[in-house]
């Protein structure tokens, strides 16, 4: 059974109405990666710029660059954080 997570993403630039709650698959971490179960995330004003298209990025785009949570799994080669 594949693990999934719910995330707010934008699929095209625009206003707040462009944000969608999506279900996405959660894979195992690759080499040098960790998987974190977030308990809190932060949105910053840069996320508004991304959403409006001021700084074009590949879509769909998940918002937020900071968070707090618990490490659930570590990939090969991870020895510390």
3-state secondary structure the chain: CCEEEEEEEECCCCCHHHEEEEEEEECCCCCCCEEEEEEEEECCHHHHHHHHCCCCCCCCEECCCEEEEEEEEECCCCCCC
Q: Position of tokens 């990939």?
A: 75
Mean pLDDT of the 40-58 span = 92
How far apart, in Å, are the Cα atoms of 36 and each of 6, 16, 44, 56, 59? 13, 26, 20, 27, 22
Mean pLDDT of the 28-34 span = 97
This prediction's pTM: 0.75
Query: CA quadruple 14, 17, 23, 29: dihedral positive or negative?
Result: positive
| Structural domains present in the chain | 3-74 (3.90.180.10)
Mean pLDDT of the 35-61 span = 93
- Binned at pLDDT 50, 70 and 90, residue 63 comes out as confident
């Amino acid at each position: 059974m594949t693990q999934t997570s719910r995330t707010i993403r934008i699929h095209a630039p625009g206003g707040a109405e462009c944000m969608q709650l999506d279900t996405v698959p959660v894979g195992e971490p690759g080499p040098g990666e960790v998987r974190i179960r977030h308990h809190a995330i932060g949105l910053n004003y840069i996320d508004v710029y991304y959403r409006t298209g001021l700084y074009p990025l590949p879509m769909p785009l998940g918002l937020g660059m900071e968070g707090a949570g618990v490490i659930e799994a570590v990939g090969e080669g991870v020895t510390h954080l």
